[in-house]
A and B are shown apart, each in its own frame.
Chain A
């Protein structure tokens, strides 16, 4: 491995993240196949709509598990805003939309990431709960189930749109980010640009893991 890279994520974090990502994507795909008659052909690839329905339902259980693990893992770091720096960051949109001389320094997660986490956590739970009831709709009042379909569709609107923002900013929109999801090792320059406060914290606490160097934490 190249020397001087910094470990941003551990294997567990990446595993849970991939579980959540892949199950979510598969749910979007199978959901779309059932949502639009014009996309019914996607279901044919998986053995028909009835098979797709069951794949969707059972993948939902995997998604629920991944979501709970993700919330447990991230809610302290990404579920709470730290004022006032997060507010300042939001006022300049993190320097993403217009030129900002000095973007307020953020830690491991910037407010945009926190908002995405909260959207996924809240709407993910909505999807799981409404989905479970929609699986067995006849034991609940029709009026309730009808409105759960609305919530399920609303959750899809939010998560599906947010997913593309997330995909863009995790890849070409922010070069150097994707390795955090694959190998877990990122460059110091990327960390300094994206999460300067986190870099400082790790340096001060001596928790920084650098490739080719002894772990100073010991």
Chain B
């Protein structure tokens, strides 16, 4: 299957939250009672039952007055995904479309993915003892449908399609917008499968890392120490065998008078 991405264009988003609702609906996620904390953003963050939250920010701009920032905050579906790297059970995996799927049936709730994710996406639920995150509606995209969020978007801020085509469109859009507008997602973790066209500087968006990467600690752990454990043990076993047949074991001397150095 061809590689596909979901493109979110901040400049076209009106903050209607259709995507957030469609996500809840398709994934049958109940809502939780929340409190008004002075922002339209609700719930305040991703939760085990909220795979996607629309982030709202108000920014004071001396020229333009108040600016509204909307960001579609969900799993970025990295090509080189830290969560897949650390998952001991294979519950987190790459799909044919290169998105990151989650098979909750085999999740052992080690929570390593929660710690590893450079975007702080997976959420652990202690009631079910499982981890939750957006799976890009695998049940839909696997059947040639678009993700529920993209389907619901009324303004065209969210689109789903072939990576090549949408990346070109993203760069064209960023160029057309001008100013600080830029494409976010293709320059790290070997490319994400949720790509943004950000109208403003990256650092201005809340909870969005400017230069995310698979943490060095996880590369050291999984790509260096893991093979080293087998190499070291194998080396010792081979060394012991060679020692036994070449130098020989350290055997007690037969008798006081008859000094035999074992195997030497």
Contacts and interface: CB of A to CB of B under 8 A. Distances in A.
Interface of A: 34-37, 40, 49-50, 52-53, 95-99, 137-138, 142, 145-147, 149-150, 153-154, 156-157, 160-165, 168, 172-176, 187, 189-190, 192-194
Contact of B229 (A146, A147, A157, A189): A157
A35 B218 CA distance: 13
Contact of A153 (B115, B221, B255, B261): B221
Nearest to A164: B236
B111 A138 contact: yes
Given A146-B115, A149-B218, A164-B237, A49 B106 contact: yes
B218 A146 contact: yes
A194 B250 contact: yes
A187 B252 CA distance: 9
- Shortest Cβ-Cβ A-B pairs, 3 listed: A189-B252, A161-B232, A153-B225
Given A165-B236, A176-B251, 19 more contacts: A34-B110, A35-B88, A35-B226, A50-B108, A98-B247, A142-B114, A146-B218, A149-B221, A153-B226, A153-B229, A156-B229, A157-B232, A168-B236, A168-B240, A172-B249, A173-B250, A175-B262, A187-B252, A189-B253
B233 interface: yes
B220 interface: yes
Interface string B233-250: 101110010011001011
A192 B226 contact: no
B124 interface: yes
A146 B116 CA distance: 7
A150 B252 contact: no
A52 B215 CA distance: 27
B110 A53 contact: yes
B217 A193 contact: no
A176 B252 contact: yes
Contact of A96 (B86, B232, B250, B254): B250
Given A96-B247, A172-B249, A157 B236 contact: no
A176 B235 CA distance: 25
B108 A49 contact: yes
B233 A161 contact: yes
Nearest to B124: A138
Given A156-B229, A190-B252, A164 B88 contact: no
B264 interface: yes
B115 A165 contact: no
Contacts of A40: 88-90
B74 interface: no
Given A97-B247, A172-B244, A160 B232 contact: yes
16 contacts: A34-B89, A37-B90, A49-B88, A49-B106, A50-B108, A138-B111, A142-B114, A145-B115, A149-B86, A149-B115, A149-B218, A149-B221, A153-B225, A173-B249, A176-B251, A176-B252
A142 B249 contact: no
Contacts of B252: 175-176, 187, 189-190, 192-194
Nearest to B88: A34
A161 B236 contact: yes
A148 B261 CA distance: 46
B111 to A, nearest CB: 5
Contacts of A190: 252
A147 B116 CA distance: 10
Given A168-B240, A172-B244, A192-B253, A149 B233 contact: no
B115 to A, nearest CB: 5
Nearest to A37: B90
Most buried by B among A98, A153, A156: A153
Nearest to A144: B115
A34 B89 CA distance: 7
A52 B221 CA distance: 21
B221 A99 contact: no
Contacts of A164: 233, 236-237, 240
Contacts of B235: 161
A95 to B, nearest CB: 7
Contacts of A142: 114-115, 120
Nearest to B215: A146
B244 A137 contact: no
